[in-house]
Amino acid sequence: MEVNFNWEWLLRLLVAALLGALIGWEREQAQRPAGLRTYMLVAFGSALFTVLSITAFVSSGSTIDPGRIAAQVVVGIGFLGAGTVYREGDVVRGLTTAAGLWAMAAIGMAVGVGQYLLGMISTGIVLSILVLVRLFERRKK
């Protein structure tokens, strides 16, 4: 079996993990259940699945759909996110964590296909939502 390696793939994985670290660090500072390692792993894993879907399963002359793996990443992250949601009396907790993991998977997938700028801008938007909206919510109280 021929080993076919491309340094660009490694760069995609590292950038995804770094972007995951940025959001994960913010979550850890806010003392949320999913933090640095979780967000890094979600970003890295979704980027890896994406790189694999567009590189490893390409066959000349066949009709392999790389989008099928991407669809499964979305479903899989839904299960992970669902595990972070719980009810405490009348209050539901963990929804922001679930949504953040879902967004992080999308960012990892964007970087996995080489859309670095989209991934970076999206990371900035997610961080803005997490930080700025929290400040707004505190002022409102």
Q: Which two tokens stand for residue 61?
A: 């002359």
Q: What percent of the chain has pLDDT over 70?
A: 91
State residue 60's pLDDT score. 58
Give the highest mean pLDDT range of 55-59, 104-108, 135-139. Answer: 104-108
Tell me how long the chain is. Answer: 141
- Cβ atoms of 99 and 81 within 8 Å: the answer is yes
Contacts of the segment 54-57: beta carbons below 8 A, 24+ positions apart: 54/112, 54/113, 55/6, 55/9
Q: What are phi and psi of 93, to 5 degrees?
A: -115, 155
State residue 17's pLDDT score. 98
Spans of all domains in the chain = 7-56+65-136
The amino acid present at 133, given as its one-letter code, is: V
